[in-house]
Amino acid sequence: MTNVKKRCTLTISCKDKIGIVAEVASYLRDNGCFILESSYFGDAHTGKFFMRTVFSTDSLNYKHNEFVHGFGGIKKKFGMAVDLFDNSILPRVVIMVSRLDHCLNDLLYRYRTGDLKIQIPAIVSNHMDLASLAEWHKIPFIHIPVTKDTKDVAEAKLLRVVDDAKCELVVLARYMQVLSDELCKKLGGRCINIHHSFLPSFKGAQPYHRAYDRGVKLIGATAHYVTADLDEGPIIEQGVERIDHSQSVDDFVAVGRDVESLTFSRAIRAHVEHRVFLNGSKTVVLK
C-alpha cells in the first residue's frame, strides 16, 4: 500500500542573515521532506526576513512534535519565529456581517465549491436579515444585536463565539459596527476587514459619495487587519476599477461591490494559506 503524503506549510520570520534558506532546505531534505513551494523576502529597510515553504512528507513517518523539536536548533541559531501547519486541517473562520450581503455571498460560494478551503463554524450578525442565507448553507447563524448601551455585552458574546468555535480568523464582511479598542487587541492579527475605498483615501463613512464629489477616476477596496485605529490596520490586498464622469453614485456602489468581494476573498485566501506576515505597520504577502 502506498503511503499518503502529508502536506505542511512552514513559516518563518527573523532577522535577515546569510544562510537561512540553505539551512531550512537542508533540514527538510535530511528529514525526507520534498519541497513543493518556497518563497521568501528580506526587507532591506527593517532588516527582517520572511519565508514560507510548503513541503510533503511520508505521513507514516511524520510526527509534528518531533519535527518542531528537531527544527529547534535552527530556530535558536537565527532567533526565528516559526509556525508549522498541517494543510489537511482547514482553518476555522467566523464571518461577521450586517445587512449588505455581496461579500458574504461571494465567500459562501467559494466555500461551497471548495475554492476557498476553510471551515465556517458560525456567521454572526447584528441583524436578522441574512439568517436564511446562513440556514441554506447549513451554517449556524448567531444574532448579536448591538446598541450603544449593549456594546460591551455584545462583544463579550462575540468573543465567546470565537473561543467556542476554536476560530483562527474573524472576517468582517461589511459588518457595519466599529469594534472597541479592547476587542481589536484581542483579535490582533486574526481579524480582517473589507473597506469600500482605496485606503488611505476616503476613510470612514460614505467613501463612494466623497469619491464621487471629488471626481475620482479610480475607485477601489482595501482588505486590512483590524486595529484600534479605524481603517488604518496593515493592508493585505487592494483592488481598483476605472470609472468616469458619466457614472452616478449608484454606479460607483455597483462597481464597488465586485471589487470588494474579489479583494476580500484574495486577502482571506492569503491569510489562510499562511502567506501574510506582519512587518510593523505593513504586511509582507508572499506568493
Pick from 257, 273, 263: which is nearest to 102 by CA?
257
pLDDT at 230: 82
The answer to whether residue 101 is catalytic is no
Q: Active-site residue among 58, 106, 115, 231?
A: 231
pLDDT at 2: 59
Mean pLDDT in runs of 10 for the chain (287 residues)? 82 96 95 95 95 91 83 94 95 97 97 96 97 96 95 95 95 95 94 86 78 82 92 91 91 92 98 96 94
Contacts of residue 35, defined as CB under 8 A and 6 or more positions apart, other chains included, come to 25, 28, 53, 54, 55
Options 2.40.320.10, 3.40.50.170, 3.40.50.10860, 3.90.1640.10; CATH of 93-285: 3.40.50.170
Domain boundaries, the chain: 5-86, 93-285
Three-class SS state of 20: helix
pLDDT at 195: 92
pLDDT in tens, 32-73: 899 999 999 999 989 999 999 999 998 777 788 888 888 999
- Confirm if 202 and 226 have CB atoms less than 8 A apart: no
CA distance 18 to 41: 13
Pick from 175, 176, 170, 273: which is nearest to 225 by CA?
170
Please give the CATH topology (third level) of the domain spanning 5-86: Alpha-Beta Plaits (3.30.70)
Tell me, yes or no, if the pTM score tops 0.85: yes
Q: Is 250 exposed, middle or buried (0-12, 13-18, 19+ CB in 10 A)?
A: exposed
Partners of 224 in the β-ladder: 193, 235
Question: Does the CA dihedral 40-80-89-265 come out positive or negative?
Answer: negative
pLDDT at 68: 84
